[in-house]
Structure 1
């Protein structure tokens, strides 16, 4: 076994995270998602449960299985999951700033609704007691007290003005029958693939990054279709 796809469940509020991990099953590895790490720090690892969804014998299959499970469970769109990326090699492309803000808002609403229940109130009190008397290091306090221009990362917000950024590159999609479609930038190619091929952004970008023909899953068996896509030099 090269690796496995897992699901980590928050036993407090029922939220979950789907990810992949190389090697044999590691019960101490809960995932590396940004929102998941925050939840782990808040509730403690003892409040989470992990189980295997699928296994793979190669890295390529592992990437494909992660994309399959995240897409099948609608993890990126559903506020019940901590996922903000479609999976695959390096997580591929995360949500846009607008999409991430919407996801965080939906999660926040779900968490607030949970804390309005008796069980949620009990959990809030448990967290309050566990944090009482806690002191932060000087480094953490310095970071917490450096808003705006005083923060080290001020002005480093990633944008898409660079012509070399993938979002601004020309994209080519070649159908199995040899028909070519060229788009002036990636977002138009992604939109076209969604409307005409019913193909999600994560699937299309995974084809580009792995340079492997498109396939689909039927009863958990891979069926090649033969579509290819790539970025073009300006």
Structure 2
């Protein structure tokens, strides 16, 4: 695989330098290898599996691996920002990996971390020129499935993605906002607090989401409310936010009573 990378993506003066690079490179050193591994993303036959491998590395827990793989991936994406075809292909592959591993925690949690990195670094700005871009719509639909999880780590990662998707334009923004507002009344208090905190930070960047005259009130309510309080109390504040954002209040679904003996 390494030989294919160099033959097709790196120009060398002669075959001797090619062989020397392949044999001298320490493939176990993340500081050296990820720069070359990321170039496989430019080859269609390796695109999916390379990105799948990078997903686990970028969203992993080993600091050096995360740092070097993240930088290599960001550098690759920086190089295709003006190539809508290449960026669309990258987005399609991302979606394929997400769909294929939606219920595989070994991949979906690192994937969400990686996607958050890409959204935070504006890697999909070219998609922002089109309202309701399909990439955003599809990511939203897949994250809605994960919102049903009871895994707090996964839920926090989804919250970050929802906030990151607010950079996209169109009606999809309201759908993303609706998901965040529902999470403000999640069963777990820690999820409610995380949602409020991340929404606050998101609104500091995307302050056009709400009427400018209401922005201060929204920020104050998000920061001053004790989102760990009982759900009935929290729901009042959440519904006020729904009204300010112009989002329909979520309906409370009554649980079926447990049948008697």
- Where relative contact order (Cα < 8 A, 6+ residues apart) is larger, the structure is 1
Query: Quick check: which one's helix share is greater?
Result: 2
Find the structure with the greater CA-based Rg: 2
Query: Quick check: which one's strand share is greater?
Result: 1
TM-score, normalising length from structure 1? 0.26
